[in-house]
């Protein structure tokens, strides 16, 4: 059967799901050679679909992160106020990870280990999240928040303050200490502490000075 673009995409998703299932069953990252043998395809056909392991991992990451990407896009498209939009932007992805962790902690841990080992392959998804977050920051600035801060600076500060809710590994170490209620308070604090209400130079730490 000719490998049409539609068939290729369908096979990429099927095999990516197969590999995820194998990771869950075997408790370890699946090598390219095992993915070939388990796929039911001849090696030549498999290589038409995935050039190498990096290409295979990209498909796995895309499938795993698809709910997160859809959640971000849904939030960005809403007309929610900036504070609520920022909260939902983080909350919805956190809930996805939390529920996955609670459903199968061991499998979740293995997926986190795969992501860490192949971080350069995941970086594009991190960049996409930052892009969407910058859109929300720009909307917030239009309403008077984060005065005196460049978008990239606000992005960096916010990411550092909510990192426990965006880095999946945090669930492994903190578990139920991470809650939606705490995240809401953090987002409220960010909008207060990084607002322009205290003056154009406000950055949330304007009373602190670095030690020499």
Does the pLDDT of residue 199 top 90, yes or no? Answer: no
Segment 30-57 mean pLDDT: 96
Check if the beta carbon of residue 90 is closer than 8 Å to that of residue 166: yes
> Has this prediction a pTM greater than 0.85?
yes
Does the pLDDT of residue 202 top 60, yes or no? Answer: no
Check if the beta carbon of residue 173 is closer than 8 Å to that of residue 197: no
**H-type alpha helices, the chain:** 5-26, 32-39, 43-49, 53-76, 82-103, 105-117, 119-142, 151-161, 163-166, 169-174, 180-193
The pLDDT value given to residue 1 = 67
Confidence of residue 2 (pLDDT cuts 50, 70, 90): confident
Q: What is the domain partition of the chain in residue ranges?
A: 1-51, 66-212
Does the pLDDT of residue 34 top 70, yes or no? Answer: yes
Classified as helix, coil or strand, 157 is helix
Q: Give percent above pLDDT 70 in the chain.
A: 91
CA–CA gap between residue 111 and residue 29 (Å, rounded):
8
Check if the beta carbon of residue 161 is closer than 8 Å to that of residue 205: no
CATH class of 66-212: mainly alpha
Backbone angles phi, psi at 94, to 5 degrees: -60, -45
Q: Give percent above pLDDT 90 in the chain.
A: 85
- Please write the tens of the pLDDT for every residue from 93-137: 999 999 999 999 999 999 999 999 999 889 999 999 999 999 999
Segment 155-167 mean pLDDT: 96
Segment 67-90 mean pLDDT: 97
Check if the beta carbon of residue 187 is closer than 8 Å to that of residue 139: no
Residue 96: count other Cβ atoms within 10 Å of its Cβ.
Answer: 16
Confidence of residue 195 (pLDDT cuts 50, 70, 90): low
The pLDDT value given to residue 53 = 96
CA–CA gap between residue 13 and residue 35 (Å, rounded):
13
CA–CA gap between residue 70 and residue 87 (Å, rounded):
16
């Amino acid at each position: 059967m000719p490998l049409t673009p539609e068939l290729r995409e369908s096979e990429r998703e099927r095999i990516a799901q197969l590999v995820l299932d194998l990771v869950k069953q075997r408790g370890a990252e699946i090598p390219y050679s095992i993915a070939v043998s388990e796929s039911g395809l001849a090696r030549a056909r498999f290589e038409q679909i995935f050039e190498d392991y990096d290409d295979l991992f990209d498909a796995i990451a895309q499938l795993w992160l698809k709910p997160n990407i859809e959640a971000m896009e849904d939030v960005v498209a809403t007309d929610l106020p900036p504070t609520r939009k920022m909260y939902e932007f983080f909350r919805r992805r956190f809930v996805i990870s939390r529920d996955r962790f609670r459903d199968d902690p061991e499998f979740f841990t293995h997926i986190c280990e795969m992501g860490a080992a192949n971080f350069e392959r995941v970086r594009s998804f991190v960049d996409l999240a930052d892009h969407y977050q910058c859109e929300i920051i720009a909307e917030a600035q239009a309403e008077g928040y984060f005065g005196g801060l460049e978008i990239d600076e606000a992005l960096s500060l916010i990411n550092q303050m909510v990192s426990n809710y965006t880095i999946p590994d945090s669930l492994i170490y903190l578990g139920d200490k991470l809650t939606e209620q705490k995240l809401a308070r953090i987002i409220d604090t960010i909008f207060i502490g990084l607002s322009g209400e205290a003056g154009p130079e406000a950055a949330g730490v304007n009373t602190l000075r670095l030690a020499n």
